Amino acid sequence: MDATRTFDVQKLRADFPILSRTVHGKPLVYLDNGASAQKPRAVIDAIRNVYEHEYSNVHRAAHELSAACTEKFEQARRTVQRFLNAPEDREVIFVRGTTEGINLVAQTFGRANIGQGDEIVITAMEHHSNIVPWQMLCEEKGAKLRVAPMDDTGTLIFDEYVKLVNDRTKLVGVVHVSNALGTVNPVKRMAEAAHKVGAVILVDGAQAAPHMRIDVQELGVDFYAFSGHKAFGPTGIGALWGRAELLEAMPPWQGGGEMIKTVKFEKTTYAAIPHKFEAGTPNIADTIGLAAGLEYLMEIGLDNMEAYEHELLEYATTQVSAIEGVRVIGTAQNKAGVISFVLDGIHAADAGMILDEQGIAVRVGQHCAEPVMDFFKIPATVRASFAFYNTREEVDALVKGIHKVKELFA
């Protein structure tokens, strides 16, 4: 099936007001979706509607506004459950984003279950958010961080990963889709290997959840975190899913209102999950906005969206790779919509500035993945990251822009 013919991109683009603007007098070509995606009217309207018509604090009052807002807030939890195909809505914890979700697991499950001589396994392509929390925990507990290697295409060397996972391994942390390379990791197989030795597995789903169908039961993982702003929703909101039996056994992370059952000076007892992990007033309107974004994605059809983005990636890879003096970084066979590249003799920051002058928004730098840059022996890359509202014409504009960069540095 030719997804480019069955996927009505122009109709969908009309749902995103910002895509009709110009930058430096040129039509905006937004190819920085890996950093943050744009927002459809459905999300914008949902947030505005909360503040204009329904806003109140949730869970705590007896009046109508609070009841209505609480229902929408908890409906958002059920939306996340459905989006991830999670068994129960009480397994969904609202957090600020993927980074907070990973830190929550590190500081609760990690502190309670990882000790001297234990090991945590991650991969060589992780975002800093799935490196630093585990380094901090290992330093505190006397545990060891092990890193599963990748090859020159940016593909995980699975056999080496399996060798690292042993009876000392307590947790595996893996990115589902690499933000710097686009590599899609074999999460299901990795989970099976982790569970054979009694370890749990946490998945950084920040780059995967907005671009493919996620089924945590099918994947067989224990924790899955993602961010709302990359999934066409608001900033400052995301979700952590965890298996109920793990969450119930974990201590709270933060103390305060909402996460308690009773408070006495002698002793406090804690609320049931998920509220045990949601201290204080939550990000109410943005949680409802997150749900609107996920509903929008599910209405489009995540399988259709993934097929379209894959065809767009293939087209873009062919076009960009054909440019003389351009080297694509990350050529794994199984990739999502990310192309990172370097230009001979031209720094990524300079290339990004010139592309911006053409109205083309890309990311430049290390992409919070400094070890990846070290592996490929480069200081930085230009990264074009795609979403379902991007088009072949925008890829052509990127290619033209790269040629312009080369001309200016010739």
Residues 6+ away with beta carbon under 8 Å from 15: 40, 41, 42, 296
How far is the C-alpha of 348 from the C-alpha of 366, rounded, in Å? 10
How far is the C-alpha of 219 from the C-alpha of 205, rounded, in Å? 12
How far is the C-alpha of 342 from the C-alpha of 321, rounded, in Å? 11
Tokens representing 30 are 């937004």
How far is the C-alpha of 393 from the C-alpha of 34, rounded, in Å? 19
Backbone region of residue 2 per phi and psi (left: phi > 0; alpha: psi in -120 to 50; beta: other values): beta
Side-chain-side CA neighbours of 394 within 13 Å: the count stands at: 25
CA 221 and chain centroid, separation? 16
- H and E: helices and strands count for the chain: 16, 17
138 is catalytic: no
Helix (H, G, I), strand (E, B) or coil at 327: strand
> What's the farthest any 2 CA atoms get from each other in the chain?
74
Count CB atoms within 10 A of the CB of residue 71.
Answer: 12
Residues 6+ away with beta carbon under 8 Å from 163: none
Query: Which of 34, 3, 37 is closest to 18 using CA atoms?
Result: 37
Please, what sign has the CA dihedral across residues 168, 173, 177, 178?
negative
Query: Which of 139, 249, 132, 253 is closest to 200 using CA atoms?
Result: 249
- DSSP annotation of 203: E
H or E stretch covering 363: strand 363-365
How far is the C-alpha of 41 from the C-alpha of 15, rounded, in Å? 6
Q: Which of 368, 391, 396, 409 is catalytic?
A: 368
Q: Which amino acid is at 203?
A: V
Catalytically annotated residues? 368
